[in-house]
Amino acid sequence: MQKVSRIVFEPALWVSTVCCLLLATAGCNRDEPVQAVATESATAQTETAAAASERPNVLMIAVDDLNDWVGYTGVNPSTITPNIDALAASGTAFTNAFTQYPVCGPSRASVFAGLLPGTLGFTSQPKDSNVPEVAQEFGTPLLHSYFAQHGYKTMAVGKLLHRHIPQGSVDESGGRGDWDRLEDGERLNWDTDRTMTDWGVYPYPEEEMSDPMAAKWAVERLQEDHDKPFMLMVGFLRPHVPWYSPQRWFDALGDPADLHLPPYKPDDHDDLTEYVVSASVAKDYPRTEWAIETGQWDDIVHAYLAAVHFVDHYIGQVLDALAESHYADNTIVVLWSDHGYLVGEKNTFQKHNLWERSGKVPLIVAGPGVPKGETRKQQAGLIDIYPTLLDLADLPENPVNAGHSLVPLLDDATMEWEYPVITQWRRNRDNWDRRGQAVQMGEWRYSLYGDGSEELYNHAEDPNEWTNLAADPETAAQYREMMDRLKTHLPADFYTMTPR
């Protein structure tokens, strides 16, 4: 029987003062943002307990590697996500939301710091402790620390940053479990040390898996009485690889041969440069052509959807506990995934690229004053979560945030949204460096790579990104002005910056 290793941090009260903020940021030559946030911190400390107690609680749910195969999107009709769908029905879902980086660590660091991964210098998996240190260089605390400065009790369990959360930065921590792999490194279908990718039935007790244990800890916190508003952050591991779930979650989906497979075009890469393909397709992951030849594609989709159904169940336990608590009417809920995932599209099974399937994520906001059962089609980024939560909680804005509050869109579904969403990516392996950035504006997605290669897709007409409009000279000339305009939104220094 596999044992789940747990890292449990001792509860520690996060104390922030103007003095320590200034010391931590001394010499960084960013005096204006440092002074702004320090001023807000000083203001926060003068708030009365009565004023703080009137503020809403926050429940943040982070899901690992969940693409938009959730029921409310209709993208894959075979998926079973009743609890995520119920949350969407009780709030507002942003159906054109994207990550800022298609890998866990930099994406999550961006969410919590409110800055682009390239700005932070993170293009690989940063240690949790590094994220607040780098954020302090820019004069900003992490999201949960900002709430703590304004009188909130902070609690965390599961995967939030790449591992968990910086030690000592929350009042209570439930730690994080492991990946729920098989004993002795056993593999079922895909055997390589370069990826945890594998799929099949999990043979050990379900209640000892990391996600059920995280849900249980979160439920217990929601059943307690808290003497001030709280921010409870819950991170779930599935559907991150390995795609192992107990048998009942496979059974619920029925015959794998009857499941909906995503679109696939064998010559999809023909209009891409070698630089783009090498930057986008990881050689150690399964290929769709292999999955078709071996009859494994149905089984892989089955396993991914089983992991999605599994994690939806435990998300539901947390949401049910909130609904049954006396916090139900005064809690903001935000659910997000750190990035998308390709499950056979583009001839691969992975994240790690700038294509829409790796970037698109579920993003749901619910709670007091949030429209119920509505969607927003305007582009949004995970980087917008930080300022949005501050806005919904009526906290002072953090002037260092690079994202934008989505509250105006919650108030007006027809609003023209002028803020594009940027996704960054760098592949550095085997002594070569590939970089690129994508910008999403409405239905248009433009990508520019380090060697000058370009991609342009119109998702309204080409949702599968099968026709690169930048590759054909005629269409490239037709859309040149628009591509040049979109290019101006991409930070030029990302292509030359030295990562941390």
Instruction: Say if residues 114 and 403 touch (Cβ distance below 8 Å).
Output: yes
Give the residue numbers marked as catalytic. 104, 162
* Residue 114 falls in which region: left (phi positive, over 0), alpha (psi -120 to 50) or beta: left
C-beta of residue 468 within 8 angstroms of C-beta of residue 269: no
Q: Between the CA atoms of 161, 163, 165 and 171, what dihedral angle is there, to the nearest 10 degrees?
A: 140
